[in-house]
Chains A and B, each alone.
Chain A
Amino acid sequence: MRQNRRYSKSFLILVALIILLFVMALSAPLLAPNNPNKTDLMRSLLKPSAEFPLGCDAMGRCVLSRVFYGARLSIFSSLLIICIIFLAGMMIGVISGYFGGIADNILTKIISIAQAFPKLVLAIAIAGILGIGIRNTIIALCIVEWSEYARLSRSLTFGIRHKTYIKAARICGESHLSIVIRQIMPNIVPTLLVNASLGVATMIMEVAALSYLGLGVKSPMSEWGAMMNAGKDYLQRDTRLVIIPGAAIFIVAVLFNLFGDKLRDVLEK
């Protein structure tokens, strides 16, 4: 199977770009020209210069350095959320779909309740109540977003659990755990992965949205949504403070969305 897979050139370019993004985010301390949190009111709203390539914000902090550090926070918090809900959702979904019966009945009910509600509304309420901070943002988004993965894994598992090879494995004496790991997971993970890579883009935007509303990171941490929130008060004088972090979110979201689309082409053919 694998040999037949043709990785298109554009897919490889996207992979390279995403790796580059990770490297950039990880090496933010090396790339940032200045300390991202050093304020200096003398530099307030400074225009771009050699020392501050993208200028300074209202507090006189280097915008470029904050964008680099923000990349770290935005990308890795989104990835963390996706990892958590991917694993938790898959576990719940597989248990529900594989074993069926009462467990399935109860879990499907819980999943449909969790799905039957506007997610961002609940995320705003939870993040706000738990208090400002990136940890609570992550918790809030995990609480509202896990259900999609659970629903998907459940329906995928349900679709294959009566297949002959599963029965054969069972007759051969394979344990349930082993069947789940060796037979079920390889079948459902590709579809879930496509969902996850599209999900990263959504998560980055949702983390940024919560930060934009002032419910995300604590200042002075740099996060793209929070930077836009701080910059919007100076929209009239200088759009730079909104456009630069906004463009960063947009570019990363485009990358992950394109990657997800291509991944679907690669995995689901």
Chain B
Amino acid sequence: MHIANTLKNIISRLLQTILILVGVTLITFFILHISPGNPAETWLRGVGGHAGTVSEEAIREQEQKMALDKPFLVQYGIWLGNVVQGDMGYSLISKKPVLEELKAKALPTIQLTFVSLFITVLLSIPLGIYCAVYKDSWFDNIIRVFSFIGISMPSFLSSLILLWFFCLKLGWFPVIAADGITGMILPVTVFVFQCASKLTRQIRSVVLEQLNKGYMKGAVARGVGRRAILFSHVLKNCLIPILSWCGIYTGIMLGGAAVIENVFSWNGMGKLAVEAVVALDYYLIQGFVLWVALIFLFVNFFIDILSALIDPRIKTS
């Protein structure tokens, strides 16, 4: 019975995920459709029209090849059909398969996102709990000021300040990020600063809420130790909101990667996406949106299942 229910939930979640994927790609596809550019022309001319003038006939012929003369929904259907078979089209600029381009760039971005997320959580949980327990102490106030700065500072400003100080002034890191761990230090710092500022405050407020609950008095009265209360009772009850925030921050980081990867020249999907958008590389943009959606939805799917495992009261909605 229980297993059947879980299975049913997972299937309905999967259907919902597919609906979201179709919705998001449909929006992008539609906007690409009404935009002034012409993919066939871009394909033939290359970036900035370097290939010289291309005849109208050649463009028409290319349009037919790319099925651009078909109605909007048919075009979308063809694209979707190809994607299901693992063909995301070709980049209009590099003429390489989109899937290949994205595959090469996905890993660095995923690494960046998850390392940042991990450190953010690792930092925010103790800080948030400490600030809640010692509410309005000097430590809480300092953290409050820090998190306020973090919330109000655009990520590209903090990135540029770090870039200037550590790469140009001190010369500790190269300006163009090296591959691997050394290159990750600065971008991860920016992400952690940005997200931990918010997460610490959020954790502080849920912990405060828990501390005021009746069961706390009960536990204290029963003589349960302070540490045990905090770590087994309070933290357990805060896990679910923390998990769902992790999902939200994954999204923020995947979007923020576009900005931060650009500042630090980190060779990931975000940087690729901005290049694709500037060059109006239609299928690459589509592919990027789909990839990000997939990663994001996968993470959230995973989080939902984890939440349901931790708290049996949660039925995947």
Query: Interface on A for B, CB 8 Å cutoff?
Result: 109, 112-113, 116-131, 143, 201, 205, 208-209, 212-215, 225, 228, 232, 235-236, 239, 242-243, 246, 249-250, 253-254, 257-258
Would you call A201 and B258 a contact (CB within 8 A)? no
**Given A113-B20, A131-B36, A235-B163, is A118 in contact with B152 using a C-beta cutoff of 8 Å?**
no
Bound Cα distance A100, B113 (Å): 39
**Given A118-B292, A257-B148, A257-B151, is A125 in contact with B252 using a C-beta cutoff of 8 Å?**
no
Which residues of A have CB within 8 Å of B277? 124-125, 127-129, 215
Would you call B24 and A117 a contact (CB within 8 A)? yes
Q: Mark B154-182, 1 if CB is under 8 A from A, else 0.
A: 11110011011000100000000000000
For residue B27, CB closer than 8 A to chain A, the reply is yes
Would you call B259 and A213 a contact (CB within 8 A)? yes
Stretch at the interface among B95-103, B211-219, B293-301: B293-301
CB A178 to nearest CB in B, in angstroms, measures 34
Q: Mark B167-201, 1 if CB is under 8 A from A, else 0.
A: 01000000000000000000000000000000000
Which residues of B have CB within 8 Å of A122? 24, 27-28, 289
Which residues of A have CB within 8 Å of B149? 254
Would you call A214 and B278 a contact (CB within 8 A)? yes
Instruction: Name the 4 nearest CB pairs between A and B, nearest first.
Output: A128-B277, A120-B255, A118-B251, A253-B152
Query: Interface on B for A, CB 8 Å cutoff?
Result: 19-20, 23-24, 27-28, 31-32, 35-37, 148-149, 151-157, 160-161, 163-164, 168, 251-252, 254-256, 258-259, 262-263, 273-274, 277-278, 280, 285, 288-289, 292-293, 296-297, 300
Which residues of B have CB within 8 Å of A143? 27
Would you call A125 and B289 a contact (CB within 8 A)? yes
22 residue pairs A–B, Cβ–Cβ below 8 Å: A117-B20, A118-B251, A118-B252, A118-B254, A118-B292, A120-B259, A124-B255, A125-B273, A129-B285, A131-B35, A131-B36, A209-B155, A209-B259, A213-B262, A215-B278, A235-B160, A236-B168, A239-B164, A246-B154, A250-B153, A253-B154, A257-B152
Bound Cα distance A126, B285 (Å): 10
**Given A130-B35, A213-B274, A228-B157, is A117 in contact with B296 using a C-beta cutoff of 8 Å?**
yes
6 further A-B pairs in the complex, CB-CB below 8 A; given A117-B293, A129-B35, A129-B285:
A112-B20, A124-B255, A213-B262, A235-B163, A250-B157, A253-B152
Main secondary structure of the interface of A (DSSP, over half): helix
Total CB contacts across the A-B interface at under 8 A: 132
Bound Cα distance A249, B289 (Å): 28
CB B26 to nearest CB in A, in angstroms, measures 10
Would you call A129 and B31 a contact (CB within 8 A)? yes
Bound Cα distance A218, B80 (Å): 34
For A249, give its contact among B157, B263, B274, B297 (CB under 8 Å).
Answer: B157
Which residues of A have CB within 8 Å of B292? 118, 121
Bound Cα distance A253, B297 (Å): 30
Would you call A201 and B156 a contact (CB within 8 A)? no
Bound Cα distance A118, B270 (Å): 12
Complex: chain A residue closest to B163, CB-CB: A235
CB B39 to nearest CB in A, in angstroms, measures 11
Would you call A212 and B273 a contact (CB within 8 A)? no
Which residues of A have CB within 8 Å of B157? 228, 242, 246, 249-250
Would you call A124 and B273 a contact (CB within 8 A)? yes
Which residues of A have CB within 8 Å of B296? 116-118
Which residues of A have CB within 8 Å of B274? 124, 128, 213-215
